[in-house]
Amino acid sequence: MESVIKNSILIVDDEPANQAYLGVLLGDVYTIYEARNGKEALEKANQHIPDLILLDILLPELNGYHVLSLLKSSEITQDIPVILISGLNSTEDEEKGLSLNAVDYIAKPFSDVIVRSRVNNQIRIINQMRAIERLSMIDQLTDIPNRRRFDQQLDMEWRRAARDQTPICLMMLDVDMFKKYNDTYGHQQGDLVLQAVAGTLMRTLKRPADFAARWGGEEFAVLLPKTEIDGALVISERIRTNIESTAIPCPGGTDTCVTISIGVFVQIPSIELSMKQFIANADAALYAAKDAGRNRICVFQQERNVSDAI
C-alpha cells in the first residue's frame, strides 16, 4: 500500500507543557518538529523546511517577532507560513505579528477546536497552492514538464554543476517533418505523435536526476546532470532509436512512425558561458542535425564553434 506523506509543522515554544499539548493535538495528522528557543527554531526551519511554523512570541534571547523577521528575510524560509502563538492577546500584539507577515494568530490558553481549525486551514491553503503550482509546470498535452518547469530545473542544475565543477548536458530534440505529418494525417494525429515522443523520452531516461520537458511545438529538451560527452551520446542515440521504432497507431488500424533530430552540448559551467548561451549552443547543434539530413545527432564543439554530425 502506498504511504501518504504527511505535512510537517515546526512548533516553537519554550514551555514543555505547551510543546506536549500541541504535539499530542496535531501529531496524529502531521509530522511534528520541536524547538525551544529562537536559535533552535531557525536551525530546525532551515534543516526541515516545514510546511507550517507555530511560533511563540515570548521566547528566551530571540523573541518570536525577531525570529519571524529572520525567517522572512531568508531565501530558504521566507515562504513558510507562520502562525504566532502567545498569551499576549492585545490587538497591538496581533497587529504587530500580522505586519511582519504572520498568517494567523492563536491566543493562549489554547482551544482544541481553534488550534486544529486554524492549522488545518493553513495546511489546506498550502496544499491547494502547491497543486496549482504543479499543474502550471506540466504541459497539458504530453503530461511532462513544460518550458517553465525546465527553466527552473536548468537554473538549479546549472548552479549545482557550477559549484561542483561537473559537466552538464543539454539535448534539444525536434520531430522531423512535423508540419508535413500534420498536413498529411491531421492535427489530432500530430498530438498523438507528441504524446508518443514524450512517453518514449520518459521511459528512456533512467537516472532520477535526468530531466525531459516539452520546449514548445514539436521541440523537446533533455537535461543530463553529471554527464560527459560519451555518456550523452549513448543516451541520445538510445532516444533517437527508441523514438524511430515507436509505432504510432492511426485510424483504420495502420501505424506510423517519426524520427527526431538531436542537438547535444556538454559543458562545465563557467563565468564565460551563460545559461542563455548554453541553450543557444545546443540549439545550434540541433539545427546542424536538421541541415545534415535529419534523424541524426549533432554535437556542438565549443572550441571550434561548429557542430559535428554523428
Query: What residues are labeled active site?
Result: 218
- Specify which residues 31 forms β-bridges with: 8
* DSSP line for the chain: -PPPPPPEEEEE-S-HHHHHHHHHHHTTTSEEEEESSHHHHHHHHHHH--SEEEEESS-SSS-HHHHHHHHHHSTTTTTS-EEEEES--SHHHHHHHHHTT-SEEEESSP-HHHHHHHHHHHHHHHHHHHHHHHHHTB-TTT-SB-HHHHHHHHHHHHHHHHHHT--EEEEEEEETTHHHHHHHH-HHHHHHHHHHHHHHHHHH--STT-EEEEEETTEEEEEEET--HHHHHHHHHHHHHHHHT--EE-TTS-EE---EEEEEEEE---TT--HHHHHHHHHHHHHHHHHTTSSSEEEEETTTTEEEE-
Note whether 304 and 294 are within 8 A (CB). no
Cα 65 to Cα 85: distance, rounded to the nearest angstrom: 11
Which residue in the block uniquely carries the three cell numbers 551563460?
A: 274
* 40, amino acid identity: E
Cα 9 to Cα 162: distance, rounded to the nearest angstrom: 33
Give the three cell numbers for residue 309. 554530425
* 144, amino acid identity: I
